[in-house]
Amino acid sequence: MSHSANPPRGGLRIAIGIGLLVVSGLLFVRAAGPWPGDAIVWPAAVAVLGALLIWRAPAVTPRRRRGWAAHRPSEPSPPRQPSVRMRAFGRPEVSRGGLGVALVLAGGFAFLWASGATRPAGEALLAALAVLIAVALIFAPSWRRLARSLAAERNERIRSQERADVGAHLHDSVLQTLALIQRSAEDPKQVAALARRQERELRGWLAGGDSREPGHTLAGALEAAAAEVEAAVGGSVEVVAVGDCPLDERGGAVVAAAREAMLNAAKFAGEVPVSVYAELSPERVQVYVRDRGAGFDPAAIPPQRRGVRESIIGRMRRVGGRATVRSLPGGGTEVEIAIAHGGSAVSGEES
Amino acid sequence: MSDGSAPRVVIVDDHDLFRAGVRTSLGPLVEVVAESSDVDSAVRAIEELVPDVVLLDVHMPGGGGVEVIRRVADGRPEVRFLALSVSDAAEDVIALIRAGARGYVTKTISGPELADAVCRVHAGDAVFSPRLAGFVLDAFAGEIPAAQVDPELDLLTPREREVLQHIARGYMYKEIAAQLGISAKTVEAHVSAVLRKLQLSSRHELSRWASHRRLVEE
């Protein structure tokens, strides 16, 4: 909101500056040149200032809504929006207008009082006041209605803007994917991969993309890695994360090792889903990558095959963690990756 | 509980296509006796037909799955509910479990797996998908440090935690039993105990967890 409050405040500062300049100019004229008299000039100056304030009151400009992504759609945003907006445009405008009216009235009264016209004009003044109040009473409801319909119209505009945003997004993502799916209907693997990628993307968009953005948290980075592996190799990689923690250098190593494990599982296990389970806390991180596929004998990997040994086990050892590969031919594979944030490797099998 | 015959199932979901898909994918192991697309007709169908298992969508017009359970469960304890959803929101899923559902599976589950889950719920077991296990672990431990939790709240025993962690890692009950050196029946008993704790633990605690979680996510 602060940026919206700035223009009027800056304007006010300029107005005060101009006012001071005008006052000093008037004082100079008063001392040096022809002077109509205090009773005329000062009230007139105040009244002019008030009039300027009224006329210069900012036109109500439609304020573009902040980014759609900043709001989770699950939040009750529509009821919350109007009040924010009402405050945004309502307050400065009313206070400036009110100040202007008060200044004009004060100028008029000061003139009448100073020129000694108050006494004879008392009754006329009272009558004028009564008429003013009556007019205000009569037009207040319609004025309020006008303000309200203006607000309603603004809401409607924002809503249609939102609809257009959503529509554009769905068009760019979901409709494109559906078209691709229709075109590759004879290839079930491709269809599944497309649907899967779209599902992930849509879920991320619906969730606002804030909480689990890659690069911010470990859980987000694992999700992103799973999505990459799915896109690269196909198959499905399901990530279940309990807790979360910020992504640091060691976290990066964990993600890289887990990604390698997911990649291996998706490539070599056969057509089976891969489960990733992560327990993340600031103290320690444990990630399990499991498939129930073909399995292999870890001892039988030839030494020149460096995938598992270097990219998973070696990488974790270098940052002070550990990785264990458990696999049996025919019994599936599980890679366990663990690191304690104190720096030492997590020891022991069970927590 | 199970009398050996195919469990009678009511499918409650507001998407016609999805209901049809579930119906065909369930196969011969399960008898679908009715389909409903909203809360009212679901409640009527369940009261009338008294199915063994209700496959329940989380989000529906007129209150969703929680509303169906709330209106049926008290009068019909023999009807079991299995939540079936695309929802990723822990709050929604936990709410349905707390209302009385015996398990939760995602809609991407394969037909045979779903039929198996229905049969297991029918037999009185709890069906925990890896994702649900993750949610529950989050609910009981991940998000609220132990020191902040009221002492009267039933915490998970280390064994129950272990079982849930294995489910989250993608192990099946049989495999967990083999890994932990206990019988499959014991694994099921642990899962049922977790379910009971989830349904009985103080409402206050869970809502605090939910609000805390929302706070963290924003």
Q: Which of A288, A299, A289, A286 lies closest to A328, judged by CA?
A: A299
Tell me, yes or no, if A288 comes closer than 8 A to chain B by beta carbon.
yes
pLDDT tier at A288, thresholds 50, 70, 90: very high
From the list A211, A236, A240, which residue is nearest B168 (CB)? Answer: A240
Mean pLDDT of all residues belonging to chain B: 80
In A, which residues are within 8 Å of B162 by CB distance? 350
Q: Pairing state of beta strands A284-291 and A333-340?
A: antiparallel
* Contact between A211 and A220 (Cβ < 8 Å): yes
Per-residue pLDDT, B64? 81
* Contact between B23 and B1 (Cβ < 8 Å): no
Condensed to tens digits (0 to 9), the pLDDT of residues A64-94 reads: 444 343 344 443 444 433 444 444 444 555 6
Query: Judging by beta carbons within 10 Å of its beta carbon (0-12, 13-18, 19+), is residue A306 exposed, middle or buried?
Result: exposed
Q: Is the pLDDT of residue A313 over 80?
A: yes
Contact B133 A292 (CB under 8 A): no
- Verify that B107 and B18 share a domain, yes or no: yes
Q: Is the pLDDT of residue A253 over 70?
A: yes
Token pair 């799973």 is at which residue?
Answer: A226
Number of independent structural domains in chain B: 2
pLDDT tier at A212, thresholds 50, 70, 90: very low
Tell me, yes or no, if A74 comes closer than 8 A to chain B by beta carbon.
yes
Condensed to tens digits (0 to 9), the pLDDT of residues A217-249 reads: 888 889 888 888 888 887 788 888 888 888 888
- Verify that B7 and B94 share a domain, yes or no: yes
Which of B124, B159, B184 marks a domain boundary? B124
Residue of B nearest to A335 (CA): B169
Query: How far apart (Å, rounded) are the C-alpha atoms in residues B7 and B81?
Result: 12
Query: Judging by beta carbons within 10 Å of its beta carbon (0-12, 13-18, 19+), is residue B24 exposed, middle or buried?
Result: exposed
Task: Specify the 3-state DSSP secondary structure of A14.
Answer: helix
ipTM, interface predicted TM-score of the complex = 0.75
pLDDT tier at A209, thresholds 50, 70, 90: low
More confident residue, B190 or A70: B190
Condensed to tens digits (0 to 9), the pLDDT of residues B123-178 reads: 888 888 888 888 888 877 645 444 444 444 457 888 888 899 999 988 888 889 98
pLDDT average, residue stretch A319-325: 88
Per-residue pLDDT, B146? 42
- Verify that B104 and B170 share a domain, yes or no: no
Angle at B75 between CA B69 and CA B78, to 5 degrees: 80
Contact B130 A292 (CB under 8 A): no
Which of A23-27, A207-211, B42-46 bottoms out in mean pLDDT, i.e. has the lowest? A207-211
Interface probe with A: pick from B169, B172, B175, most Cβ of A within 10 Å? B169
- Verify that B13 and B120 share a domain, yes or no: yes
Q: Which two tokens stand for residue B158?
A: 């280390």
A116: left (phi over 0), alpha (psi -120 to 50) or beta: left
- Verify that B27 and B105 share a domain, yes or no: yes
- Verify that B77 and B163 share a domain, yes or no: no
- Verify that B42 and B148 share a domain, yes or no: no
How many Cβ atoms sit within 10 Å of the Cβ of residue B114? 22
- Verify that B156 and B211 share a domain, yes or no: yes
Query: How far apart (Å, rounded) are the C-alpha atoms in residues A240 and B134?
Result: 6
Q: Going by C-beta distance under 8 Å and a sequence separation of 6 or more, which residues neighbour residue A146?
A: none
In A, which residues are within 8 Å of B138 by CB distance? 242-243
- Which strand (E) or helix (H) includes residue A327? strand A322-327
- Verify that B136 and B120 share a domain, yes or no: no
Contact A350 B162 (CB under 8 A): yes
In B, which residues are within 8 Å of A207 by CB distance? 88
pLDDT tier at A287, thresholds 50, 70, 90: very high
Per-residue pLDDT, A277? 93
B31: left (phi over 0), alpha (psi -120 to 50) or beta: beta
From the list B131, B134, B217, which residue is nearest A211 (CB)? Answer: B217
Domain positions in chain A are 2-64+74-169, 206-340
More confident residue, A144 or A348: A144
In A, which residues are within 8 Å of B109 by CB distance? none
For position B136, which CATH number holds?
1.10.10.10
Per-residue pLDDT, B9? 92
Which of A339-343, B90-94, B142-146 bottoms out in mean pLDDT, i.e. has the lowest? B142-146
Contact B89 A74 (CB under 8 A): yes
What is chain B's alpha carbon radius of gyration, rounded to the nearest angstrom? 17
- Verify that B120 and B142 share a domain, yes or no: no
- Verify that B139 and B105 share a domain, yes or no: no
* Contact between A342 and A268 (Cβ < 8 Å): no
Which of B124, B146, B169 marks a domain boundary? B124
Tell me, yes or no, if A69 comes closer than 8 A to chain B by beta carbon.
no
Which range marks the domain in which residue B48 is found? Answer: 1-124
Query: How far apart (Å, rounded) are the C-alpha atoms in residues A37 and A43?
Result: 11
User: Chain A 201-260, CB below 8 Å of chain B: which residues?
Assistant: 203, 207, 210-211, 236, 238, 240-243
* Contact between B52 and B120 (Cβ < 8 Å): no
From the list B89, B131, B162, which residue is nearest A240 (CB)? Answer: B131
Q: Is the pLDDT of residue B203 over 60?
A: no
Angle at A205 between CA A203 and CA A206, to 5 degrees: 65
Which of B102, B124, B146 marks a domain boundary? B124
What is chain A's alpha carbon radius of gyration, rounded to the nearest angstrom? 36
Residue of A nearest to B133 (CA): A240
Query: How far apart (Å, rounded) are the C-alpha atoms in residues A121 and A127?
Result: 10
* Contact between A258 and A280 (Cβ < 8 Å): no
Which of A127-131, A149-153, A279-283, B213-217 bottoms out in mean pLDDT, i.e. has the lowest? B213-217
Per-residue pLDDT, B204? 56
Contact A207 B162 (CB under 8 A): no
- Verify that B112 and B10 share a domain, yes or no: yes
Per-residue pLDDT, A219? 87
Q: Which of A245, A73, A246 lies closest to A165, judged by CA?
A: A73
How many Cβ atoms sit within 10 Å of the Cβ of residue B12? 26
Query: Judging by beta carbons within 10 Å of its beta carbon (0-12, 13-18, 19+), is residue B67 exposed, middle or buried?
Result: middle
CA distance B173 to chain A (A): 14
* Percent of chain A topping pLDDT 90: 8
How many residues make up chain B in this entry?
Answer: 218
One-letter identity of residue A292: R
Interface probe with B: pick from A277, A326, A333, most Cβ of B within 10 Å? A277
From the list B137, B162, B170, which residue is nearest A275 (CB)? Answer: B170
pLDDT average, residue stretch A283-287: 89
pLDDT tier at A185, thresholds 50, 70, 90: confident
| DSSP code string of A235-291 | S-EEEEEES--B--HHHHHHHHHHHHHHHHHHHHS-S--EEEEEEE-SSEEEEEEEE
In A, which residues are within 8 Å of B141 by CB distance? 242
Q: Would you list which residues of chain B are within 8 Å, Cβ to Cβ, of chain A?
A: 88-89, 108, 130-131, 133-134, 137-138, 141-143, 162, 165, 168-171, 217-218
For position B116, which CATH number holds?
3.40.50.2300
Rounded to an integer, what is the distance from CA A279 to the centroid of its chain? Answer: 28
pLDDT average, residue stretch A95-103: 76
Superfamily holding A206-340: Histidine kinase-like ATPase, C-terminal domain (3.30.565.10)
Contact B169 A290 (CB under 8 A): yes
Per-residue pLDDT, A126? 79
* Percent of chain A topping pLDDT 70: 76
